[in-house]
Amino acid sequence: MRKYIGILFLIFSFLIAIGCLAEFDHTPIASTIVLLVISLPLYTLGHLIRTSKEEMKRKGKLWLTIYVFAVIILPLIFYSYESYEDLKWRSIDDGKYIFYVPSSSELGSFSLLFMMALLLLIPVRLFSPELKRKRFMNIMIIVTLLLYGGFRYWTWSDYRGVHKEIGLISQNWAGKRSVQPFDQLERIVVEPGLYRAKLSDPTDETTFIWKMTFINKNGKKTIYSFRGLSKNDLNGALQVKEISQTDQILFDVKKMSTKEKKWFDLELELEKLEKEPFYRFFELANP
């Protein structure tokens, strides 16, 4: 019976922790106090009730480490990533961007690699008591943190987007901006497609994808890709279409295949989206 009561205490502890983390943006001080005064004591008490004082002495440090990693370190890594992206967008947004991508090239994906490295290195260091080269692992974590932070600072100015008034904007990490006004575009092509799930990955899913390609008069292509369907992406695409009509730019929507149409309809149903505006944009027969 003690075991089940202890597990119940642990569940309550993590539920409270999840609630605190969800509200951390709005009430950081209150959330921190609740974590330290309610969630952590419940967690400790839960282990004590379900085991014994002797086992608590032997494994208490490990259990505390698990709590700190799950409730503090792990959320902090994800929070730092999300808050950085949010701050970056707010520093750029003037209310007139139709589409926005937080990196002007594939270089931006390196930040995800650094984050994944931290998610791998920190648990290895914390949960491997028999690890021989602990100092070396500590140095690796510190170096990865410095590289991650430095890279984020370095790429603060790096982004690209479609602006209602200016046109296509691309700015690299050094702040060098290139602009293509809409009057330099020859055509805009909308091309539906299908992302096929990898058989080797059971969590991967086949889904409808589409892309919008801006082609200037010199033949240079700028591509914006979209996975799935959403109202925001459709609204942006409709704004681009309206601009193309105003500036007399050819707007070409490629025909969907039967398979693409099947997954397109499935996506609309799963997301509970109104079919008519999406059908009209992709130039399909009435649903």
* Per-residue pLDDT reduced to its tens digit, 21-67: 888 888 888 888 998 899 998 888 888 888 888 888 888 888 888 88
Residue 192's pLDDT is what?
Answer: 96
Length of the chain equals 287
Residue 187's pLDDT is what?
Answer: 96
Choose one of 159, 194, 211: the last residue of a domain: 159
Phi then psi for residue 23, to 5 deg, are -100, 5
Tell me the helices (H) and strands (E) count for the chain, helix number first.
Answer: 10, 8
**Same domain flag for 70 and 107:** no
Residue 287's pLDDT is what?
Answer: 64
Residue 131 pLDDT level (bands cut at 50, 70, 90): confident
User: For residue 135, is pLDDT > 90?
Assistant: no
Domain contains 198: yes
**Same domain flag for 131 and 200:** no
**Same domain flag for 109 and 83:** no
Choose one of 71, 92, 113: the last residue of a domain: 92
Q: Residue range 151-167: average pLDDT? A: 92
Domain contains 203: yes
Output the average pLDDT for the chain. 89
pLDDT tens, 176-197? Answer: 899 999 999 999 999 999 998 7
Domain contains 53: yes
Q: Distance between CA atoms of 266 and 260, rounded to whole angstroms?
A: 10
**Same domain flag for 67 and 135:** no
User: For residue 201, is pLDDT > 80?
Assistant: no
Burial class (CB in 10 A: 0-12, 13-18, 19+), 212: buried
**Same domain flag for 204 and 254:** yes
**Same domain flag for 149 and 59:** no
**Same domain flag for 269 and 187:** yes
**Same domain flag for 43 and 85:** yes
User: For residue 206, is pLDDT > 90?
Assistant: no
Q: Which residues pair with 212 in a beta bridge?
A: 190, 224
Domain contains 286: no
**Same domain flag for 8 and 58:** yes
**Where in the sequence is the domain holding 147, given as residue range(s)?**
96-159
Looking at the chain, the whole-number percentage of residues with pLDDT higher than 90 is 45
Choose the weakest-confidence range: 30-34, 110-114, 199-203, 244-248: 199-203
**Same domain flag for 78 and 111:** no
Q: Distance between CA atoms of 222 and 232, rounded to whole angstroms?
A: 20
**Same domain flag for 87 and 109:** no
Category of 207 on φ-ψ map: left (φ > 0), alpha (ψ -120 to 50) or beta: beta
Domain contains 50: yes
Count of domains for the chain: 3
Q: Distance between CA atoms of 45 and 10, rounded to whole angstroms?
A: 8
pLDDT tens, 208-264? Answer: 999 999 999 999 999 999 999 999 999 999 999 999 999 999 999 999 999 999 999
Phi then psi for residue 276, to 5 deg, are -55, -50
